[in-house]
A and B are shown apart, each in its own frame.
Chain A
Amino acid sequence: MMAHLPVMQVMVPLLAAPLCALVRNGRVAWGIAVASSWAAFWIAWEIFQVVHSTGAISYSLGGWSASEGGIEYRIDTLGTFVLMVVTLVGAVVTPYALESVGKEVDKSKQALFYAAFLLCLAGLLGIVVTGDMFNVFVFLEISSLSAYALIALGKDRRALRASYQYLIMGSVGATFIVIGIGMLYVMTGSLNMANLAILLPELSSNRTIPVAFAFLTVGVCLKLALFPLHMWLPNAYTFAPSAVTAFIASTATKVAIYVLLRLFYTVFGSDYSFLEMQLGTYLLPLSLIAIFSMSLVAIFQANVKRMLAYSSLAQIGYIILGISLFSSTGMTASILHLFNHAVIKGCLFMALGCVMYRLNSVELDDMMGLGKKMPLTMGAFLVGGFGLIGVPFTAGFISKWYLIQGALEKGLWPVAVLVLLTSLMAVVYIWKVVETVYFSEDPGSVNSDCSEAPIGLLIPTWTLAILCVYFGIDATLTTFGASSAVANLMGIGS
């Protein structure tokens, strides 16, 4: 069975999804969802160990090897790292969903909700494990379509519009990706990433390849909402049901970043991407603008969920910044932040979900004095907020530490200063919430009779909060995972 772990990683949630749709009972479906997402997490952990002890795994689907025209699975150190991120968040969010979704989604739709949720999970995992370009597209669409549906389930009617916007932007992105894949295919005749990596360098002077490169990059950047292609994200995060926001915010963009890394490093090769195409020169300013402007916008939001959505955009900027530095420290920072931000944002959005559960609102004005009424919820929010700022002993500090190291190594000290400055902006928007919640007297209107969130919501939220602190205190596991992934990608050691 161990040999089939890679395929089981995707199949477990994928098979669980139709089962959920079949049972039609929300609670049973939830049970299936929890079981399968935990199983997925366990499988990811097993794969993590296998890959780290024996090297990258390759698995031929249908028994056809890549040279026979089959589809290949390929999981290397980076892949298992991202698998861990996605399944971890999945495993934490599904238990959370019971109460949260129970309140925010119609009872009759809950079974289907879990089906869509698992499909989204399966799609994301499928993207990570595959080694075939076109297969990436197929699973990208599985995850995207289910994400559109999940977002549209938000109670506010604006959720529909957000979902539609996302659908249009996402489909444009997907079509761009298809165009890019098509061009690569036409030039080489291959869809397998490893094979492309061999064939492409021979064509380096070709004029089609840069165009393919550009289309793929733009397409993926649309999916990961890099500035200025981010328009869909704030609304989508704001109006989606809480559990969905927590899940999608911590995984979907991360997987898109993974695809980007795959493209840059595996398919095109780092020399081509960074030296010939001068990728760094484009990504660096874009990411800086993203970090700066999105942090600024976040400060002025009155809706906390939207504030965090903009903050996510800024955080994506940090990750891209690390990539654009094109150094092993920068990359380590990015991959670390991929994980840390998933944990932190998951924690924050889940804490907000608790607030939503009690208050039916996450407007700042309605949250005055909430710190006394929901101490545990807001405590988790505080921990997550510190992580976002990058306070020492939270996970966020570690990734920023590496990021600034990376910038200084390249002699880009203004970038280092800017990263620190924007951390301060994070202080401002997190502090706005803290001040409202802890240091404002409750005007006695909206939240006067609210109490602490149910335990079913608090346990998952605090799990992530504790992880956020744990990986800030003992970052050996994450740094090990990240640095070995980087070593693998950049061809150092291993």
Chain B
Amino acid sequence: MLAVTALIVVRTQNLFAVAMLTGIYSLLSATFFTLLDAVDVAFTEAAVGAGVSTVLMLGTLSLVGHRQKKQRTVQIVPLLIVTVTGLILMYGTLDIPPFGEADNPIHLHETTVHYLEESSHETGMPNVVTSVLASYRGYDTMGETTVIFTAMVGVLLLMSGRKKDGTGGADDGE
């Protein structure tokens, strides 16, 4: 399903449809996340991918128009880069620990063990994801908040003011 959606995204020329499909793609991956026990992630992906991103896309499209120029069918160089990257990645998975085994290194590492065994009495939170997110790796989350804030600053810098002259900076290009 995911693959099909992704491939349609590549082929579709109507950006409006692309935006919707991307939303669908996000929702699908959210279900996938749920299957993989990552309920928090699924929740976020649904909210962000299907919600925020889609709204953003649509907002953008309403400003820039939703027709895409016809593309040449296949571009060789990017395709080559992509194939090579993909093959390297696949090569990299050859020695990756098997999917779903409980004795994979990441499950045995002391930090994981610590999270699962100590967090309930150290932080008093049953949801380990929350306690890791906000406490053990709270600094990362602060960084994340800062990233969001940075995005706001960026968007404000870019989008506020100067819109009256219609063409934006076109005239001072020379």
Chain A residues with CB under 8 Å of chain B are 14, 17-18, 21, 61-62, 64, 66-71, 106, 108-109, 112-113, 115-116, 119, 122-123, 126, 132, 134-135, 138-139, 141-142, 145-146, 148-150, 152-153, 155-160, 179, 183, 185-191, 199, 206-208, 210-212, 214-215
Contact = CB atoms under 8 A, between A and B. Distances in A.
Nearest to B144: A138
A119 B140 contact: no
Contacts of B111: 66-69, 189-191
A62 B154 contact: no
- Interface size for chain B: under 10, 10 to 19, 20 to 34, or 35 or more residues? 35 or more
A207 B94 contact: yes
Contact of A68 (B97, B106, B114, B169): B114
B115 A69 contact: yes
A62 B136 contact: yes
B38 interface: no
A69 B136 contact: yes
A20 B88 CA distance: 45
Contact of A108 (B94, B150, B160): B160
Contact of B89 (A69, A145, A153, A211): A211
B96 A183 contact: yes
Contacts of A186: 96-97, 104-106
B130 interface: no
A119 B89 contact: no
Contacts of A152: 154, 157-158
B48 to A, nearest CB: 15
A190 B91 contact: no
Nearest to A214: B88
Interface of B: 88-89, 91-97, 104-112, 114-115, 118, 132, 135-140, 143-144, 146-147, 149-151, 153-154, 156-158, 160-162, 168-170, 172-173
Main secondary structure of the interface of A (DSSP, over half): helix
A112 B88 contact: no
B150 A116 contact: yes
Given A142-B150, A207-B91, A208-B93, A70 B173 contact: no
A160 B157 CA distance: 12
B136 A156 contact: no
Main secondary structure of the interface of B (DSSP, over half): helix
Closest 3 CB pairs of A and B: A189-B109, A211-B92, A149-B154
22 contacts: A17-B146, A61-B139, A62-B136, A62-B138, A64-B135, A68-B136, A69-B136, A106-B162, A108-B161, A112-B153, A113-B157, A119-B150, A123-B150, A132-B140, A148-B154, A149-B150, A155-B169, A157-B168, A188-B106, A189-B107, A199-B105, A215-B92
A144 B139 CA distance: 18
B161 A208 contact: no
B2 to A, nearest CB: 18
A142 B109 CA distance: 29
Given A152-B158, A189-B106, A207 B153 contact: no
Contacts of A134: 137, 140
A108 B156 CA distance: 11
A235 B131 CA distance: 43
A189 B146 contact: no
Given A149-B153, A185-B106, A188-B105, A157 B143 contact: no
A187 B162 contact: no
A206 B97 CA distance: 11
A189 B153 contact: no
